[in-house]
Amino acid sequence: MKRRSFLQTIASVSAISPLIINGFNVKAFEPTNLFTLAGAIDCDDRVLVLIQLNGGNDGLNTIIPVDQYSQYYAARTSIAVPENTIIKLSDTTGINPEMTGMKSLFDQGKLKVLHSVGYPTPNYSHFRSTDIWLSGSDTEEYFNTGVMGRYLDYRFPGYPSTYPNASMSDPLAIQIGSVLSTGFEGPHANMAMAFTDPTSFYNIVNEKDITDTSSRSGLELAYIRKVGEQLNNFAKPVKNAALKVPKNVSSLYPAHTFNTPNPLSEQLKIVARLIAGGLKTKIYMVNLSGFDTHSSTTNVGFGVNVNHANLLKQLSTAITAFMDDCKLLGIQDKVLGMTFSEFGRRIKSNGTGTDHGAAGPVFLFGNSVIPGFLGTNPIIPDNVSSEDNIPMQTDFRSLYSSLLTQWFCVPQKDIPTVTLHNYANNLPILQGISNSVKHESLNPLSLQLSLFPNPILHQSQLQIQTVYPIADIVLYDRTGKLMSTISGYIPEGNHTLLFERVGLSAGQYYLQARLINGYTQSIIVNIQ
């Protein structure tokens, strides 16, 4: 494609494309060689373990941009991790010193760090943002169902009435705990089963009396009976699986005591046993609470002081032990894990904590991940204000679409049915993707952006030199809100784009370019 004709096709500041967002819409991903994973685990045997970090994890103290340490320190002096204690994952990026276990997983190529995962218009309410993450909606959309619930309904149509059956005798999804996530809410029922102890189940009275489901009273009665029925149906396979693997094997699990609680590790221990015991359950969900760190110490668990660093330690220890256990139990190839939180936190500290923020890091762990990073350190500007947020680099819906396709083998054509959106499913996150360029082979010179003049009065020229194709170029404001898509796909080479300030008020913005392998680069744009 000639440069001139290419330039004509892109508007200077255009609305966000409604078709394929946050992905690589040109030369779209053809999932032909997708499933040639090492170990060749059948799609149906794969298990996803989701770890929800409730409260909004402070991403900047989890994955630390050591290349901008002075800005980082200036913005959050009261809570900054001391520079000499940070464990480096690369020359530019570090991890919290409490997360030694995850550092070694990273070194072994079993951990992928996704920088700045979020959505275009951040919402700062825990509940709304949790709803958004679990339902996969836009900020202004309201779904009654969860993304996992819709996937399970797509994969196991007719649930719950015709289940268990010969093809699926086990719970579709399991939540370890007493509260069922709304993420499992399907069109007809919640698709998951919650329990805390897989070895002791009660046999529920099986009442045959007719219920009148035309009244509120009858409906609630039917609901309670249904839960009892589900319990009776699924208790046996769960119990059998747990008894088949009566003990965890890894010696790395921490003790869970009053003074050093690790509730997450206790939950993951159950998950490992059930997977190893042969349950065909597709998704497990566990969680760790206490991340709402408005001030430095938050009490959680058994009621002892636990601060953010300690929570990260719990997370790291639990995941490391779980991975070790999976290896020893011989299930390591079939397990993929992911952490997420409803939002990250503000860049600037506020006393001894931080307020609710926008994008934050996501961890993917398992033998199948493409090791390393997706995306790049967020920019920490000088003179950070309390409004400043981290803009997203990866839309979480794109991550869902990619997991659905690359892990659960959902064809591209069915992605909209499950996600109710059309986000790209080709993020380079799991092995087996053809044409993926290893992120580690990239450096800032692979992609060079320069804007002149900057500050912009009316218009500027954006000069681009890239050795790989660019997926998209987008503009965020300083609160992390997506303002516009400047360009979609751009092939490798040198290009010049005209950047007009149309519709933008004076202030600072981030211009972010993303390569098709997920590598991103941002520059600060000043509008006069």
Query: Exactly one of 190, 314, 317, 517 binds other proteins (CB under 8 A); which one?
Result: 190
Closest C-alpha among 306, 199, 323 to residue 263: 306
Residue range at the interface with other proteins (CB under 8 A); choices 292-300, 311-319, 463-471, 504-512: 292-300
CB closer to other proteins, 55 vs 59: 55
162 binds other proteins, rule: CB under 8 A:
no
Q: If phi over 0 gives left and psi between -120 and 50 gives alpha, with beta otherwise, what is residue 343? A: beta
Q: Which amino acid is it at 425?
A: N
Q: Which parts of 245-300 fold into alpha helices (H)?
A: 263-276
Q: Which residues, numbered 438-477, are part of the site for other proteins (CB under 8 A)?
A: none
417 binds other proteins, rule: CB under 8 A:
yes
Query: Measured between alpha carbons, how far is residue 223 from residues 160, 299, 446 in Å?
Result: 12, 36, 57
# residues contacting other proteins (CB under 8 A): 72
Residue 203, number of CB atoms within 10 A of its CB: 10
CB of 520 to other proteins, least distance (A): 23
CB closer to other proteins, 127 vs 505: 127
- Return the ∠ at Cα 415 (arms to 410 and 421), rounded to 5°: 160
Of the CA atoms within 13 Å of residue 34, those in its CB half-sphere come to: 22
Residue range at the interface with other proteins (CB under 8 A); choices 82-90, 107-115, 125-133, 246-254: 125-133
Residue 69, number of CB atoms within 10 A of its CB: 17
CB of 323 to other proteins, least distance (A): 26
CB closer to other proteins, 193 vs 272: 193
CB closer to other proteins, 142 vs 452: 142
195 binds other proteins, rule: CB under 8 A:
yes
Closest C-alpha among 324, 304, 160, 289 to residue 233: 160
CB of 83 to other proteins, least distance (A): 24
Please state, in angstroms and rounded to a whole number, the distance separating the CA atoms of residues 386 and 389.
8
Q: Which parts of 108-215 fold into alpha helices (H)?
A: 126-135, 147-155
CB closer to other proteins, 36 vs 215: 215
Query: Exactly one of 11, 16, 28, 54 binds other proteins (CB under 8 A); which one?
Result: 54
Q: Which residues, numbered 129-148, are part of the site for other proteins (CB under 8 A)?
A: 139-140, 142-145
Closest C-alpha among 450, 451, 464, 438 to residue 519: 438
Report the sign of the C-alpha dihedral through residues 368, 373, 375, 380, in that order: positive
Q: Which amino acid is it at 64?
A: I
What is the rounded end-to-end Cα distance, in angstroms, of the chain? 34
User: Do residues 341 and 390 touch, judged by C-beta distance below 8 A?
Assistant: no
The contact mask relative to other proteins for 486-525 (x = CB under 8 A, - = no) is ----------------------------------------
300 binds other proteins, rule: CB under 8 A:
yes
CB closer to other proteins, 352 vs 528: 352
199 binds other proteins, rule: CB under 8 A:
no
DSSP state of 413: G
Residue range at the interface with other proteins (CB under 8 A); choices 122-130, 155-163, 274-282, 317-325: 122-130
User: Do residues 329 and 272 touch, judged by C-beta distance below 8 A?
Assistant: yes
User: Do residues 64 and 347 touch, judged by C-beta distance below 8 A?
Assistant: no
CB of 223 to other proteins, least distance (A): 6
Query: Exactly one of 179, 247, 503, 505 binds other proteins (CB under 8 A); which one?
Result: 179
77 binds other proteins, rule: CB under 8 A:
no
Query: Exactly one of 17, 128, 154, 199 binds other proteins (CB under 8 A); which one?
Result: 128
Query: Measured between alpha carbons, how far is residue 372 from residues 159, 190, 229, 382, 401 in Å?
Result: 38, 35, 45, 28, 20
The contact mask relative to other proteins for 215-244 (x = CB under 8 A, - = no) is xxx-xxx-xxx-xx-xx--xx---------
Q: Which residues, numbered 379-408, are part of the site for other proteins (CB under 8 A)?
A: 386
- Return the ∠ at Cα 390 (arms to 495 and 107), rounded to 5°: 85
User: Do residues 394 and 120 touch, judged by C-beta distance below 8 A?
Assistant: no
CB closer to other proteins, 112 vs 356: 356
CB of 508 to other proteins, least distance (A): 17
Q: Which residues, numbered 303-322, are part of the site for other proteins (CB under 8 A)?
A: 303-304
214 binds other proteins, rule: CB under 8 A:
yes
Query: Exactly one of 127, 157, 161, 247 binds other proteins (CB under 8 A); which one?
Result: 127
